[in-house]
Structure 1
């Protein structure tokens, strides 16, 4: 039997997204009365960006095609206008982004913008234009709630706060945490390393977060850890984590007195690359041995975005791969890019739902504040799972916690799944602590020597 078309695949899932008038033959033949121009600003060809256009365009097309039976009776005609933010070398460029945004505004006068997946500084234009901005790619530390909805996975941000907060409470970490952050990650995302983590990650009012900006010197980083805490969160390239863990192992810090959380929201460390096998982040791209890091990584837990395992998502994924190959001649079968494309797909559905409600109430397509207000607090099932935009205009995303299954195989498995819409952790397996229990975040007589029972020869042992 022939494979079903994208419309048949997604139609049952999306059939009630928009609501509005019931479809009839008279409505179905009605000409569109409201033309909506979706302006898109994303990298045009460079697939090193998970939010590149060859991934996102098929996702948007699938959403619009699936909704077409509803869009036309409602009098909505959605058209897409794309502009690439890449420079001639293929990298996202600040000047190019500004010029393309201005050109798009002049030539097509979009009603809503999607993307800006390179630089955040273009957003002052969006605020000036008073247009809705739908984002699901490059992270932004703060968004303007009057214009922007952030609906995709990212590294430490407000929508991640519930997960680490619950982990801290479950493992009874109440006073200390350490953050080591690189100025940017593998995708060129720049991270203001202290602010977001200190405000949101621990989720406990009394936790003090000590922050260290990693400058390529693991010796300084390890010494900072030894003097500041035992619960360590690391954000940066995988090579940075491997460097730190190699030295931590040499300093005898991997016996179970420390726990290292690696914040790998895109899940790159779990994918096979070069000589590295899937789910073995201790291996490097060049070697499967990686200096014997397998044992050291028993103390490393990895947080990634959760990729849905539902039949709807798998069907969407298959169609996305086929469209990208057909329309762009490229293979885009990686999990991070697929998830980002799915998030763009779902936030477009949510926008159209809010737009339709605004129009039904007598508003216009340029009532940005009303449209964004309607996008908040709504829940619906998209291809990426439950879509729920919180009061900060961030989507409540799902995350996974990975731990090493056993030292013999060195393979990681998901031990916990955080459901963002419900703010609940589903435990799927045990965390095998090397000492049988979680390490203390503030062990006695290590950081606080004022206790009379502590000796005076203290220090900061590894």
Structure 2
């Protein structure tokens, strides 16, 4: 079906246009410890190239891919500048890391080059009107994920939360993840929303007492940490009886990797039994997975290519994560948009026009339909997983969130008790005071003013009364003195006249 759609689009390509070569610069880290290193992504891009060629009988579109090491830092910008000295690329794929992507996206917008990535997921990249105007994100942003929590908080009427994250001070993946949750939750909850940061340093131990004190105050705990740290937190909470249903725990897992926290409790150690009981209270928010025959073929071919290359420092290479899917779909989306823009008279150098054709559309990706919103960000559905059989420790999807219509779907495996807070009294909304149309501050001002006015009037009354008494007394004394002085003057005159 997907190949048929591509064929219908590409058959409309003008026969007289000849072969079109598109220069693509892929800016990703070379280090295979990253899930999105370019040696790991390259097989997915090659698969997309073959898919495009198979759908284009005229061979009108050819991609010339070159790779540059971003090192998840400033090297990404340097690579773009160095590569553009002689000729600028027609398309930029990547970077993924936020700090690397920011500088590249600014320059791409200035140079009118489309930039498509399965990264740059932080909330700041949602502002596309300025320096990120040419940025298209084919992987779900953290804000899209946060919509799931916003829907659950509304559905279950939760009123307080604790956001716990591990900050490595470099890529800061979990910092940006929970930042989006904080931004998207109802502002009325922010007075009951707390954050707790754990250092990403490996030699620093978890301060369980400090963390669990904050846990006791929250109805919902949302965590973004490595799998080992999450296990340590859940064990500590279980030992202090904080997994008794009075708190709902969530883990966020987007990348299909244990380094991001995959909800796994089993380690093969003596704590497995206790961990299984603790994880019975832990729910995981993850991408909703759809499987179709073409995706199975994609997975096998990419895995085969990676194994053939025998990549060094490559963990989890046997799994197909969202970055591999995303960059495959990125090249596909660009190819469709370029064909449409060219049919309307634009060229591959009209970056703004090609970018506009990638936004606000739906196409068939490698794992299913891909919907891009009007802001150039991918819409994504998410699932909530829970341990439905605690005796086995197995997980199952219990609910889904659908981004297109913002609906929250509860599945048959859903257990209401698991998401119902026990032993907590929900805070009642404040009752407004009656003031007969006046605000509280205005009414208070009137009362205080009346009291002050009464005090001033009384003070003035007593002051005036005392003043009048003093004046009357002084007047009588003065009259008495005047009478004495007059009598003395008259006696003096009489004596003088008598003498005369």
Q: Which TM bucket (shorter chain)?
A: 0.7 to 0.9
Q: Which residue of 2 aligns with 1:312?
A: 294
Select between 323-332 and 294-303 the one with higher mean Cα deviation.
Answer: 323-332
Contact 2:114–2:355 (CA under 8 A) maintained in structure 1: yes
Contact 1:153–1:340 (CA under 8 A) maintained in structure 2: no
Q: Which residue of 2 aligns with 1:351?
A: 334
Match of 1:151 among 138, 149, 171: 138
Q: Does 1:217 align with 2:207?
A: yes
State the 1:37 CA deviation. Answer: 0.8
SS at match of 1:81: strand
Match of 2:26 among 19, 23, 40: 40
State the 1:132 CA deviation. Answer: 1.3
Summarize the alignment of residues 288-299 of structure 1 with structure 2, pairs less than 5 Å apart.
289-290=271-272, 292-299=274-281
Residue by residue over 1:377-399, the C-alpha shift from the partner in whole angstroms, topping out at 9 and shown as x without a partner, is: 21112112111112332211232
State the 1:110 CA deviation. Answer: 0.7
Summarize the alignment of residues 203-242 of structure 1 with structure 2, pairs less than 5 Å apart.
204=186, 206-208=188-190, 209-215=193-199, 216-227=206-217, 229-242=218-231
Summarize the alignment of residues 45-124 of structure 1 with structure 2, pairs less than 5 Å apart.
46-71=31-56, 73=58, 75-85=60-70, 92-118=71-97, 119-123=100-104, 124=106
State the 1:370 CA deviation. Answer: 2.0
State the 1:269 CA deviation. Answer: 4.5
Match of 2:380 among 397, 414, 428: 397
SS at match of 1:64: helix
State the 1:333 CA deviation. Answer: 6.7
Closer, same or farther in 2 for the Cα pair 1:346/1:168, shift >3 Å? Answer: same
Contact 1:414–1:429 (CA under 8 A) maintained in structure 2: no
Q: Which residue of 1 aligns with 2:160?
A: 176
Residue by residue over 1:204-257, the C-alpha shift from the partner in whole angstroms, topping out at 9 and shown as x without a partner, is: 453333222224423222212223x21111112122222222222232211101
Q: Which runs of 5 or more structure 2 residues have no equivalent in the other structure?
A: 200-205, 432-500
Contact 1:39–1:110 (CA under 8 A) maintained in structure 2: yes
Q: Which has the larger radius of gyration?
A: 2
Match of 1:249 among 206, 219, 238: 238
Closer, same or farther in 2 for the Cα pair 1:370/1:314, shift >3 Å? Answer: same
Q: Does 1:196 align with 2:180?
A: yes
Aligned pairs, how many?
415
Q: Which residue of 1 aligns with 2:322?
A: 339
Closer, same or farther in 2 for the Cα pair 1:441/1:397, shift >3 Å? Answer: farther
Contact 2:10–2:339 (CA under 8 A) maintained in structure 1: no
Contact 2:24–2:92 (CA under 8 A) maintained in structure 1: yes
SS at match of 1:402: strand
Tell which has more relative contact order, 1 or 2 (C-alpha 8 A, sep 6+): 1
Which protein is richer in helix relative to its size?
2
Q: TM-score, normalised by structure 1?
A: 0.79
State the 1:72 CA deviation. Answer: 6.4
Contact 1:257–1:439 (CA under 8 A) maintained in structure 2: yes
Separation in 2 of the partners of 1:441 and 1:134?
49
Q: Which runs of 5 or more structure 1 residues have no equivalent in the other structure?
A: 1-11, 86-91, 274-278, 451-462
Closer, same or farther in 2 for the Cα pair 1:193/1:347, shift >3 Å? Answer: closer
SS at match of 2:161: strand
Closer, same or farther in 2 for the Cα pair 1:69/1:431, shift >3 Å? Answer: closer
Closer, same or farther in 2 for the Cα pair 1:114/1:236, shift >3 Å? Answer: same
Separation in 2 of the partners of 1:280 and 1:161?
18
